[in-house]
Amino acid sequence: MNTLGRRVDINLMPWRERLRERHTRRFQRVLVMAVCLGGLVAGGELLYAKHVEGVISARLEFIEARTQALEKNIEAVKSLEERREVMKQQMLLINELQHRRPLTPMIFDQLTATLATGVYFERISRTGDRLVLQGMAENNRQVSDQLRAMSRSPVFEQPRLEEVQAGTAGQSARRFTMDVTAHDMAVVASSKQGAMEGKP
């Protein structure tokens, strides 16, 4: 029997699903690498801060000894006191930086934690505290879910949907662009605590 006139249907859904899974796994690997890199950077900053703190502590001890030896020279003592105060301020700043977690690893942690089902990011750009996220979702509902999830994050503030584009012919996927501001959770908590303490 001649079958040349028959219609042949090809189901591309499994192929598309595998493609989405590959994209998701690739994005997750990139996130893990970024988090690990951020951890290495944070560790390096901590070691450097401790080294500087040790150097400053040694200098402070030297200044204390010089202060006792130069008590008769009032001007010299005053100059040393001023230098000691500057170094104390530097130590306070270093201690503050040690207790603040770097923002970049925190951003990637929260991007992973708030990632909605069916959504993956293709491009992430950062300028200061401002992030521009470009990604894909299977439908508009998932884009809305992603926006709501980011608005509940303690790190992200005022997420805005800048653009949504329909997929190519035969595809229901949506390409979107989001704009969001990121803040250090320690800074946010400190600001909230200060505001609460200021209330009568």
Q: Are residues 182 and 146 in the same domain?
A: yes
Closest CA to 130 of 200, 177, 186: 177
**Phi, psi (degrees; rounded to nearest 5) at 163:** -160, 145
Residues 17 and 87 in one domain: yes
Least confident segment among 148-157, 170-179, 185-194: 185-194
Considering the domain architecture, whether residues 52 and 112 belong to the same structural domain is answered as no
**pLDDT tens-digit series, residues 108-143:** 888 899 999 999 899 989 887 889 999 999 888 999
Select the more confidently predicted residue: 151 or 19.
151
Q: Same structural domain for residues 90 and 152? A: no
Domain end among 81, 99, 117: 99
pLDDT tens-digit profile of 8-17? 666 667 777 8
Up-side HSE of residue 58: CA atoms within 13 Å toward CB?
5
61-72 tens-digit pLDDT: 888 877 777 777
Domain of 176, CATH number, reads 3.30.1360.100
What is the rounded average pLDDT of the residues 175-187?
A: 79
Same domain, 107 and 199: yes
In a domain, 5, yes or no: no
In the structure, what pLDDT confidence band is assigned to residue 101 with cuts at 50, 70 and 90? low
- Which residues constitute the domain of residue 92? 12-99
User: How many domains, in total, are found in the chain?
Assistant: 2
